[in-house]
Structure 1
Amino acid sequence: MPSISNKGISMPESPIRKLVPFAEEATRKGRTIYQLNIGQPDIKTPQAALDAVRNHTIEVLAYSHSAGFEGYRNKLAAYYEKNNIPVKGDNIIITTGGSEALLFAMGSIADAGDEIIIPEPFYANYNGFATASGVKIVPVESKIETNFALPPIQEFEKLITSKTKAILICNPGNPTGYLYTEEEIKQLAQIALKHDIYLVSDEVYREFAYDGVKHFSIMSLPELENHAIMIDSVSKRYSMCGARIGCLVSKNREVIQTAMKFAQARLSPPTFEQIASEAALDTPQSYFDEVIEEYTSRRNLLVEGLESIEGVRVANPKGAFYCIAELPVENADDFARWLLETFHYNNETVMVAPAAGFYSTPNTGLNQVRIAYVLKKENLQRAVEILKVALAEYNKK
């Protein structure tokens, strides 16, 4: 029998989706599952985006430019300008989701065996993208005790070698919900300039910033013109996860020219989704104001509920719609599977994402879970009640 590649064997499983078979079996048993494991917003997609596809006049569904429609890129640049991100349309390559943008970035700046430093816990698929690109992730640990703030800059300095090509952050963070301050971004910028490496920022949750705190982008720093690469996506901003439209943004012409080779190799991003995404840019600020108010309320309810459970510690997120909770269990992976396979409370249970899969360091985060507060408040409250009962029962066995 032919063998599987070493790369394929080492490709990590998604901690977010690997429990799906157990959830499907629980559903077949007639159980209601409150899905706290995945960041799929229940907020309605802007009507303008849906109408743009519904009312199209396309007769031939043709390729677009490999960089995406010029009109969309220019309109996107205007949106960034309004958010203190001064870029032009030719600084942008439209991609098939933020995922492809990350793959293009890694492929453009790093060779096999090169290193990228990432504060952990981090978005689990960074592991997958790094494996696919032959890149080594070098983690620097942030801690729940400090709400997952940026680790001391000296910790980054210790890890930089001749193989280091970039520092990658997610701002606001998935899975922590941490929102980096302007001062923290400037600290990272200085270290990128000092060591002549790239600073890559995944900013797909930009609009989701709470408590009056504003998001600060790496693209707002003119001194980073040749060092900054921004990753973005419509998935969360407009509740359009299924559209699979993202982008890579950089003022470094060599980065854009190199990424274009990857873009040309995959031909073009999807057409209908670009039409929807361009129309979504007309979404009024009132839409985001309502969304922020709703998610702030959900966050407060969730954090308060989790803190009321004995033995649970939770970081208070300032952005995105996730939090990391530390549970009074030895192995959150075992607990999450037990919730689906064995446990139910009045025929209901919850689904969480074990947090160990969001770390690169082995045996880290074993008693943590990521929770996405993307459910309506009454469902979140019920999920917390079920989780409290489940922890008490689990710890008896």
Structure 2
Amino acid sequence: MPASPIRKLSPFAIQAKKDGKKVYHLNIGQPDIATPEGMLNAIKNIDFDVWAYTESEGTLSYRIKLTEYYNKLGYNIRPEDILVTLGGSEAITIAMQTCVNEGDEIIIPEPFYANYNGFACMSNVVVKPILSYIETGFALPPIAEFEKVITDKTKAIIICNPNNPTGYLYSKEELQALKELCLKYDLFLFCDEAYREFCYDGKDFISPMHLDGLDENVVMLDTVSKRYSACGARLGCLITKNKEVIKSALKFAQARLSPGLVEQIAGSAAVDTPDSYFEAVNKEYTLRRNTLVSRLNSIEGVFCPNPGGAFYVVAKLPIDDADKFCQWILESFDYQGRTVMMAPATGFYSTPGSGKNEVRMAYVLNVNDLNAAMDCLTVALEQYPGRTD
């Protein structure tokens, strides 16, 4: 089971704080934006006598509210197309265990969300990575590259759109190409849409759920964690119009009994969050993205593409080893009593040796803290013994 690149350096961050350093956490996608008031009020006003199990697929009332949310986006689904899960993480594991047999293969453009490796390990599934490159902003690799690795064991492709860790936003043309590939080889297309609301510069979000003729192949995976700044709720869902997939996935859901009752009450209230909340959040994250990307590219030897969505960047640094650097900056460095925690990008690749001089940063801090973190990084790169320019 692989260690998480997002969390594995936590002991060094804890020690840095014990040593009196202020640590700027750019390593994890934990938003600092306030959770919607309606969601919190729903929890405060709960009134029940028994904290009971719910249906394994989630309460009908919550699934009806989710249907309202997704159909406003043009997904054209029904409550019976939804399986409520314990966060997006369980949605991904149930999708893998439902659609892919032990020893079968899933193709994933890399770098990819690090826990896909862990979920594949849990499911005894083989990951077949397809490299994307920082020089192209991590655009979808050519379809010919996918076809090179397709075998009789290939059962699915996973994309995260907008992407974690790169922030890349897939275009309609790229999704159309994936559609044709999945239909040609009868593959499932898993689409992780945790960052759907985070698209910038007026760019439109397109889902495989919007594409005609792909209903039997698409399995959409989602979570309330990022959209409503509610990571601790551990509430997600799996959505598909493929009745056989839902029928089989429900068996895994029954085995873990049910999703949380309180979380679903809060999730139902979250659907009524006004558009003004998301408009303000989008404006704030756009400012943060612009600040971080600008500061990174102003540092000598650093390159960072401008992402179209999510709240992450992957930056190439003039360093010998990202894992060593991310540990060194916590363990052996500070600038005016401050330092930075980042995630080494090696953990977001499956191909050995990839991402060795790249890091992922989450712009989940306010602009002042981002600027202070970049001040630290600038000095750290000047002092780091393994600088490579």
Give the corresponding residue for 1:49: 39
Give the corresponding residue for 1:173: 163
1:389 to 361, 364, 379: 379
2:306 aligned with 1:330, yes or no? no
* Structure 2 counterparts to residues 223-242 of structure 1, below 5 A: 223-242=213-232
2:81 to 91, 106, 109: 91
Separation in 1 of the partners of 2:261 and 2:38? Answer: 16
1:152 to 124, 130, 142: 142
Offset, 1:58: 1.1
Give the corresponding residue for 1:190: 180
Give the corresponding residue for 2:109: 119
Offset, 1:37: 0.3
Separation in 1 of the partners of 2:242 and 2:169? Answer: 25
Offset, 1:311: 0.3
Give the corresponding residue for 2:298: 308
Q: Helix, strand or coil for the counterpart of 2:213?
A: helix
2:257 aligned with 1:267, yes or no? yes
Offset, 1:75: 1.1
Offset, 1:396: 7.4
Q: Helix, strand or coil for the counterpart of 1:344?
A: coil
Give the corresponding residue for 2:236: 246
Separation in 1 of the partners of 2:144 and 2:77? Answer: 31
Q: Which runs of 4+ in 1 moved over 4 A?
A: none
The percentage of counterpart residues that share the same residue type is 57
1:349 to 339, 355, 359: 339
Structure 1 letter corresponding to 2:224: V
Describe the shift of the 1:306–1:266 C-alpha distance in structure 2 as closer, same or farther (beyond 3 A): same
Equivalent pair of 2:111/2:132 in contact (CA under 8 Å): yes
Separation in 1 of the partners of 2:232 and 2:24? Answer: 21
Q: Helix, strand or coil for the counterpart of 1:33?
A: strand
TM-score by length of 2: 0.99
Offset, 1:222: 2.7
Give the corresponding residue for 1:35: 25
Equivalent pair of 2:321/2:386 in contact (CA under 8 Å): no
Equivalent pair of 2:320/2:386 in contact (CA under 8 Å): no
2:5 aligned with 1:15, yes or no? yes
TM-score by length of 1: 0.97
Separation in 1 of the partners of 2:297 and 2:74? Answer: 37
Separation in 1 of the partners of 2:289 and 2:357? Answer: 21
1:133 to 101, 123, 128: 123
| Cα RMSD (Å) | 0.8
Separation in 2 of the partners of 1:166 and 1:332? Answer: 30
Structure 1 letter corresponding to 2:67: A
Aligned residues: 387
Separation in 2 of the partners of 1:294 and 1:248? Answer: 29
Q: Helix, strand or coil for the counterpart of 1:298?
A: helix
Offset, 1:395: 4.1
1:65 to 34, 55, 70: 55
Q: Helix, strand or coil for the counterpart of 1:223?
A: coil
Give the corresponding residue for 2:329: 339
Structure 1 letter corresponding to 2:213: E
2:354 aligned with 1:364, yes or no? yes
Gaps of 5+ in 1: 1-10
Structure 1 letter corresponding to 2:215: E
Question: Deviation per CA, 1:213-235, whole angstroms, max 9, x where unpaired?
Answer: 01101111130010000000000
Separation in 1 of the partners of 2:23 and 2:53? Answer: 41
Gaps of 5+ in 2: none
Structure 2 letter corresponding to 1:244: R
2:367 to 377, 383, 389: 377
